[in-house]
Structure 1
Amino acid sequence: MIFVSAAAVIAVIIASLLAVRSFRPAPLPAPAPWTGPLPEASPPAGMAIFQLPTGTYENRAALAYRGGSFGDVRKFAATAVLVHHPSGDLLIDAGFGANVEAHIATMPAYRRSPHELTSTVHDQLRMKNYDMANLRGVVITHAHWDHVSGLAELDTPIWMNAAESRYVDRAKDAVVFRDVARDHEIHHYTFDGPPYLGFPSSHDVHGDGSVVIVEAGGHTDGSVVVFVTLPDEHRFAFIGDLTWQKEGVTLRAERPKMLQLLADVQPAQVRAGLLNVIAVADRIHVVPAHDVRAYDPIPEWTAGSRTLS
């Protein structure tokens, strides 16, 4: 006979109750809306953005944000964004690569999910006659596998800040990055600019305010948000994994506590970044990296494309 102490039983009950509670709706307090002017930007004529979907994987809404349904099975995006600028183009993230099966296999079994690979960024650009000489590099929002798998096929610098460099040196979740980035040039950038829409510091890529990277650590040590302003005054915030779905912004819904413990190095920093984004969401189109709906206003790139439709 196996004897179980009353204390152990109580501990299991408490843990179970906490686990259940972590999935219930619990909206964050609404931040004060950003009422000041948006940062100045002078994007050049012809600047534009395009989405390059590389595939999807399945996940349940309940695991993405508090209050989501376990019965709501969603397709999570693995999409790169091409930012065309006369001074040189950039990709934001790289999506799935040709070796995505092997990359998924590096994850613990409980984190693997059904997925679909469409076409890699490299193949999409090559098939549509993109001149790779125009590509200055890939800005990664962070170094997790589903954002960097496609780097393996791209012979272009990877843009990374110091905090994320430290993260990839030590983190188990950066094993795929370390593999695909082995032969790449790393372009180290610093946050040499002022605070930006509540974030502590920034880096203005072109010096014209059109592409600004801000420090938004918390999901990983050096995770970032990339703000893009177009000539027609459309503004976008590519927020990586501050939240996995739009409901993180529209419902002010964080990840369930259990998922925060698994996914985030500093959940409090993620919360602060998410609140910054919520405060400007009525004036800037927010794109969580894995929400397929968020990419709807962004056209797919085709040969000769140069403007946002």
Structure 2
Amino acid sequence: MWRWTRWLLIVVLVLFGSSFLPWSISPQSVTLPDRLPAASPPESMRVSALPTGVMHSSAMLAFRGGNPMEPRDFSMTAVLVQHPRGDLLIDTGFGREVDAQVKLLPLLMQLTTEYDKGTPVADQLSAAAYDINSLAGVVLTHAHWDHVSGLDSLPKTPILVPSSEQAFIASGHEASQLAQQLTAGRLKSYAFTDKPYLGFAQQFDVWGDGSVVLVPAPGHSPGSVLVFLSLPSGQRLALLGDLVWQLDGITELAEKPWIARRLIDEDTDAVRQGLSHVVAIAQQFPQITFIPAHDPQAMATLPVYPETLR
């Protein structure tokens, strides 16, 4: 009975908001380079996925215009980037204390959250005899609970965020309260440089070789970022965080549904602008593989650690 009540609540909320904003977006008019940015990734660089669980929902909540009768899973996956100058974990997925963490969410989010836990990142790495101390840091695409949950089992790893996200974490905002608890004393902020990257005015080249480049994409949170990876094979990846939840947002030019934007996007106009920018990049550079944080099919293009993409 409760399952049907929960879905009825979701359907009502989504349909209620369906008339408030235009149905779709258009690619942003942005000046893009003729070629992909230069990069010199080291031959030993590797990329892997570390799945930690899934949330269960429907296409209706994955993107605006999604079918309410189509089940969709939302992946909770960290991405490990192995680099000779230091390994990076992009987000963390679910941690060991996820059941307790969910109880800290706003009531409406608790009522609409159904999930299955997997193995936390730290336990997966330990089982593969990976030295967690070799992690140079965790790069957060943003500081919402489902991206920081796994920090509970990485107590000594530095956490890299831009200064705007550091301020968001410190603000006491309900969406960053778990991050505030789990990141205390180990946040390391970085500054973007005024150097264009694929139409973005700024970038942060983590290792200075173009292999891991962060660009600001505020809106979902004040300091949300996109992560562009360049591999030794020549393959390019773009980790989109929660700019969109699933690839339909890119292929269908569709933002998140109204209720999701209302609940968790800090600046819906900024998110829409970032989405249209990424759509323009995708149209000009189809060789880039775009990976939203919560799209299991997109994440499945990455091998699961200890297998690696080179």
Using the size of structure 1 for normalisation, the TM-score is 0.89
Cα distance per residue 1:283-306 (max 9 Å; x no partner)? 31111100101112211112xx5x
* CA displacement 1:169-207 (0-9 Å, x = unmatched): 22111111112123x421111102412112221100000
CA deviation string 1:69-125 (max 9, x = no partner): 111221111100000111110000011000001111111232121111110000000
Does the CA contact (< 8 Å) of 1:193 and 1:201 recur in 2?
yes
Tell me if 1:26 matches 2:23.
Answer: yes
Which deviations, in whole Å up to 9, do the C-alpha atoms of 1:127-162 show, x marking residues without a partner? 100022321000000000000000011120000111
Contact in 2 for aligned 1:234/1:284 (Cα 8 Å)? yes
What is the alpha-carbon distance in structure 2 between the residues aligned to residue 107 and residue 64 of structure 1? 19
Q: Which amino acid aligns with 1:177?
A: A
Looking at structure 2, the residues matched to 32 and 283 of structure 1 have their Cα atoms a distance apart, in angstroms, of 20
Aligned length: 290
1:10: which partner in 2?
Answer: none
C-alpha distance in 2 between matches for 1:259 and 1:130: 37
State the identity as a percent.
42
| Match of residue 71, structure 1, among 69, 72, 86 | 69
Whole-angstrom distance in 2 between the partners of 1:21 and 1:60: 20
Write the distance in 1 (CA, Å) between the matches of 2:287 and 2:194. 22
> Any stretches of 5+ residues in structure 1 without a counterpart?
1-14
Give the distance between the partners of 1:99 and 1:298, measured in 2 at CA.
26
Letter in structure 2 aligned against 1:124: Q
Report the Cα distance in structure 2 between the residues aligned to 1:174 and 1:297, rounded to whole angstroms. Answer: 30
Distance 1:140 1:35 in 2: 27
What aligned pairs does 1:92-241 form with structure 2 within 5 A after superposition?
92-112=90-110, 113-154=113-154, 155-170=156-171, 171-182=173-184, 184-241=185-242
State the Cα distance separating 1:212 from its structure 2 match. 0.3
From the CA coordinates, give the structure whose radius of gyration is larger. 1
- DSSP 3-state at the match of 2:23: coil
Whole-angstrom distance in 2 between the partners of 1:179 and 1:17: 35
CA contact (8 A) 2:51 2:76 kept: yes
Separation in 2 of the partners of 1:240 and 1:176? 18
Q: 8 Å contact 1:159–1:189 — kept in the other structure?
A: yes
Alpha-carbon RMSD across the aligned residues, in angstroms, is 2.0
Opposite residue 297 of structure 1, the aligned amino acid is: T
The letter for the 2-side match of 1:118 is G
Gaps of 5+ in 2: 1-12
> Equivalent residue of 2:17, what SS?
helix
Task: From the superposition, tell whether residues 268 and 86 of structure 1 become closer, same or farther in structure 2 (CA, over 3 Å).
Answer: same
Secondary structure of the equivalent of 2:208? Answer: coil
Residues in 1 aligned to 2:261 and 2:116: alpha-carbon distance in whole angstroms: 26
TM-score by length of 2: 0.88
1:247 Cα deviation from its structure 2 partner: 0.4
2: CA distance between counterparts of 1:16 and 1:73? 15
Give the structure 1 partner of residue 5 of structure 2: none
On the 8 A contact 2:91/2:139 being kept in 1, the answer is yes
